Amino acid sequence: MKVNVGELTNELILRHLIELHVQQGGTRRPLETQGSGVQRALIAALIQAAANIRASDAKSEKNAFRWVLFEEPEAFLHPAQVTRLAHDLHELVRSGNTAVTISTHDPTMLAAAEASPEGIVRVQRPVQQINAVSPTPERVTTALTDIHIRSAYAVGSRSCFKRPRLTTADEERQRVLYDLDARRASAFFADRVIVVEGPSDMLFFDWLARQGRLTGLGPNVGVLDAFGKFELHRASATLSLFGIPHVVLWDEDAAMPTSNANQLRQRRCQDDAALAALAACAHDAGSAFAGAVRLTGTIEHWLGITEEKEGSWKAANIAASLTVAYSDAESPIPGRVGALLALLADLFDGLDPAAHRAVPEFEGALIERQLPPPAVDLVEAVAAFPCQECACVRG
């Protein structure tokens, strides 16, 4: 006996498994006479209707187990409909007798699906091969445990390790899932990612991307905002779960001018703690960490532009400053930006960054392909909280 399995196409599903017609002016027309947008909208409506079935009805014998496979559910849909469709698919899963598998290119769909890391498969299609990466539940659990310890140590430095805020495992999972929100999830579709500390860095790279100036780093480069230097390790760990190469770029607060000795010691303590947490993450098995660049001061300070203190004006300030700089043949800023992009490209390509350390723009900066392991055992350090003596004074 020979069994041939043909391709499962939209036409096969619509023609043989579901009979759908549209009514136009009193005339019934087959669904295939309509455009792709109408067809997708009707399929979304079917899923919406199925999601409204009560869980008790869905579990009855009349409604046995279902497996919904949906290729690019976002195709031809309005952005608001994408979010609604993702919610309806999620409701089908909650009914208890339905599994849903989707393939998507849309960050909004990925975010709205509320998928846990172990439920996501990242697929790449390099030349003549397909790479699929999905973290096991065990690896996700290990990563969350490590993130918990490193976050406690990094954040603890803000109070000199005397009043640390210890997060729960569930909260750590929610923080990891927050990396998959609609705006930031786009980084998980990239081949290479630049992890940055805060919004100013994000705005800087957004401007460069809109101007087409990131193409030298590769054809598909993303940027992920870690929401602070104490969260750099978490962003790095999340990307590593899916095997996404990344370079981490942040700034050294201790390099900023200050006349207050105690403030300077506290800055150094916090800088060291953030670096230790990231270094520990970079040495995890399966880490996709590709390099570290810690600049002296904020990105505005490093570029030599005025740093806007009001967050709501940072985007306009950075964009305006860069636009003016690139139209001025005498401005040193394009040269500094070019030097930074050349450094990032070499780190992504696995090249020795030694030559970049000698460039005047990077005087005092930390540039490493791989960070040395942290000098302190973070597990023991967290277990010793609260310390009896200020770590800033000790250090």
**DSSP result, 300-366:** HHHHT----SSGGGHHHHHHHHHHHHHT-TT-SHHHHHHHHHHHHHHHHTT---HHHHTSGGGTT-E
User: For residue 255, which of 202, 298, 195 has the smallest C-alpha distance?
Assistant: 298
* Alpha-carbon gap, residue 87 to 235, rounded angstroms: 26
103 and 147 housed in the same domain: no
Same domain, 274 and 162: yes
Amino acid code (one letter) for 99: A
pLDDT of residue 41: 72
pLDDT at residue number 55: 44
pTM over 0.75? The answer is yes
- Let me know whether 370 and 306 are in one domain: yes
pLDDT at 288: 97
Give yes or no: residues 14 and 93 share one domain: yes
The size of the chain, in residues, is 395
141 shares its domain with 108: no
Cα 106 versus chain centre, distance: 13
Low-confidence ranges of the chain (pLDDT < 70): 1-22, 24-26, 30-33, 48-65, 113-114, 126-128, 163-166, 169, 178, 387-395
User: What is the Cα–Cα distance from 276 to 380, expressed in whole angstroms?
Assistant: 13
**Domain contains 297:** yes
Per the structure, the complete domain to which residue 50 belongs is given by: 10-114
Q: Let me know if residue 386 belongs to a domain.
A: yes
Same domain, 156 and 102: no
Does the residue 170 lie in any domain? yes
Q: Do the domain assignments include residue 70?
A: yes
Q: How far apart are CA 291 and CA 293, in angstroms?
A: 7
268 and 146 in a common domain: yes
Query: Quick check: is 210 in a domain?
Result: yes
pLDDT of 388: 45
Which pLDDT tens digit goes with each residue over 325-360? 999 999 999 999 999 999 999 999 999 999 999 999
Strand partners, 193: 222, 246
pLDDT digits (tens, 9 = 90+) for 262-308: 888 889 999 999 999 999 999 999 999 999 999 998 999 999 998 88
Q: Is residue 326 part of a domain?
A: yes
User: Looking at the domain assignment, is residue 2 inside a domain?
Assistant: no
Instruction: Note whether 183 and 231 are same-domain residues.
Output: yes
Q: Are residues 213 and 93 in the same domain?
A: no
- Both 104 and 191 in one domain: the answer is no
104 and 146 in a common domain: no
Task: Quote the number of domains for the chain.
Answer: 2
Q: State whether 216 and 332 are in the same domain.
A: yes
131 within a domain of the structure (yes/no)? no
Question: Is 107 within 8 Å of 185 (Cβ atoms)?
Answer: yes
